[in-house]
Amino acid sequence: MKDDLLEKIILDTVDVPSLPPIASKVLQLINDDFASITELERIISRDQAFSSRLLRIANSPYYGRGRSIDTISTAIILIGFNTMKSLVTAASMKDLHRQFGLFEQKLWEHSLGLSVAASLLAAETQMIQPEEALIAGLIHDMGKIIINNSIPESYCMVIERVYETGLTFIEVEDDMLGFNHCSVGGLIARKWKLPRNLEVVIEYHHSESFPGIEDNNYETLCQIVKIADAMCLNLGIGLRIPVNLSKIGFDQIGLTEERFYELQERLKRIYIEQKAQLLE
């Protein structure tokens, strides 16, 4: 289908939400190695609700270490700049949902699990910065959130079909809606002017080929997200859908099947810890 026709169909069906302002600024900072703590602090401090949420996390037993943290800058120093960026992204992905029922909870758990899995794989292969993989994991299925917000009744039928038939989300979405969460996600990522690496992950994380992708690193990042996705679906983190492992290109990132299962075990442990920490 021609791109502009697809775009028209999507825009006629799905409304483009605005990205929570904090997330938008933080995501812009992500690729900026020189972004300062002061800048991050300034952005976060403007949002009262968000600030108090982050202080609560910083004071949780996981990070608290027995002292009380009452400013955002101390929280950033204590938790670390990178972790802080991912906490902001994780919380924003949760806020993006218009309603938060069982499916939304599952979707959020899926993205949290993926962020852990992708950063484990990145650290293992040393091909991508774990931090970059983590954010990519959090945000990869953003298109599903957007579709679910706009047309919840139809999307509910899509989900039921996925579970009944064992077909993939992409197959069922294309069939029932005429577009899928990757095309929607890609479109929104461009409207939001997200960094290009994230846009590519959102649009191509189910693709076999990467036409016109200018940077090999983006392809590697997609591959990592794809394998992380398989791990989470296997473990039933968030969503449980059978995955055909023979179709997963482990070797493209230099991974063996045996190592995949070892990392999957590690993921299970870390995920449980992380989830408890975020639910504080």
Stretch of 25-33, 64-72, 223-231, 263-271 contacting Fe ion, by CB under 5 A? 223-231
Q: Which is nearer to Fe ion, 54 or 201 (CB)?
A: 201
| CA–CA gap between residue 167 and residue 177 (Å, rounded) | 15
Of the listed pieces 3-11, 19-27, 82-90, 138-146, which binds Fe ion according to CB under 5 A?
138-146
Cα 260 to Cα 110, 111, 244, 245, 247, distances in angstroms = 18, 19, 14, 10, 14
How far is the C-alpha of 128 from the C-alpha of 9, rounded, in Å? 35
Among 41, 104, 141, 173, binds Fe ion (CB under 5 A): 141
Question: Phi/psi of residue 227, each to 5°?
Answer: -70, -40
When the beta carbons of 79 and 114 are compared against Fe ion, the nearer one is 114
State the nearest-atom distance from the C-beta of 10 to Fe ion, in Å. Answer: 16
With respect to Fe ion, which residue has the nearer C-beta, 39 or 219? 219
Q: Interacting stretch for Fe ion, rule CB under 5 A, among 53-61, 92-100, 101-109, 225-233?
A: 225-233
Q: With binding defined as CB under 5 A, does residue 203 bind Fe ion?
A: no
- Give which of 152, 69, 54, 170 is closest to 104, Cα–Cα: 152
Cα(first)–Cα(last) distance of the chain, in Å?
46
> 84 or 228: whose CB is closer to Fe ion?
228
Is residue 109 a contact residue for Fe ion (CB under 5 A)? no
